Amino acid sequence: MNSYTFASEIVIPTVKEALADRANRRRIYIAGIVTYHLVDYIAAEAGLDKSEICENVRKVCKPAFDVVQGACHGTKHAGNATRGYRFKPGEERNVPAFAFDSPGVGWGHGRWDVPGLSVENGGAELFLDTCLQIVLFTCCKTYENQLGILDLSFLDRMVLEAKPFKD
C-alpha cells in the first residue's frame, strides 16, 4: 500500500469519523494514531528515514505534531513517559460546546461550536482534533509527490487557511 492509498482509504475516513464526534476518545485516539503513522508510509515511499519526515513536518507545525506523536505513542504504550510530549490516555480534558446560560460551559469553559478533548502543551491548551487536522494537512502539503491531491475540504476552515501554505 502506498502513501496515497493509506491516506485516502484509512487516514481520511478515520479522521472524518473523529471530526463527526470530536469528544469521542476512541475515535480521536485512533485518528491520531493513523494520522501520525502516515509518516511511515511517506518515508517508505520516498526512500527517506522516518525521522527526517517527522522533522520536516515538525518544522511547520511543532506543537500540533508533538501532541499527535505523543498521543499516538502514549495511547499505544499506556502512557508516553520517555521523551517528547508526554501523553497519558484519559488525562485529556473533555471540553463541552460553549453555551450561554449553561453552568460549566460559558466564557472560559466551553469550546466554540463543538465539544472536544484538550491537552496542555507548553502552557497552551490544544485540542486533539485540531492537532490531528493540522498534522494531516501539513503532511499532504509537504509531501504532495507521495500523497497527490487528496480532498481535504472536510477539514476545519482555520486549518485549510493555515498561513505557512497560503498561495
pLDDT bracket for residue 122 (50, 70, 90): confident
Residue 160: pLDDT band (50, 70, 90) is very high
Look at residue 48 and give its three-state secondary structure: coil
Q: Are residues 89 and 30 in contact, defined by beta-carbon separation less than 8 angstroms?
A: no
Residues pairing with 121 in the sheet: 124
Q: Is 3 helix (H, G, I), strand (E, B) or coil?
A: helix
Q: Output the CA–CA distances (angstroms, integers) from residue 31 to 28, 102, 145, in the order listed.
A: 5, 30, 23
DSSP letter string, 54-109:
HHHHHHHHHHHHHHHHHHHHHHHTTS--SSSS---TT-SEEEPBP-TT-TTSSTTT
Answer whether residue 53 shows pLDDT above 60.
yes
pLDDT (0 to 100) of residue 97? 64
Q: Which of 15-24, 60-69, 101-110, 113-122 has the lowest mean pLDDT?
A: 101-110
* Mean pLDDT in residue range 63-80: 90
State the average pLDDT for the chain. 88
Instruction: Please give the average per-residue pLDDT across 59-88, as a whole number.
Output: 87
CA distance 9 to 136: 14
Q: Which helix (H) or strand (E) holds 125?
A: strand 124-127
pLDDT in tens, 85-111: 888 898 898 876 665 555 555 455 555
CA dist 68 and 28 (Å) reads: 10
Mean pLDDT of 37-50: 96
Maximum CA extent, the chain: 55
Mean pLDDT (whole number) for 34-39: 98
Q: What are the tens digits of pLDDT across the range 138-152?
A: 999 999 999 989 999
User: Could you tell me which residues are beta bridge partners of residue 124?
Assistant: 121
Average pLDDT over residues 67-88: 84
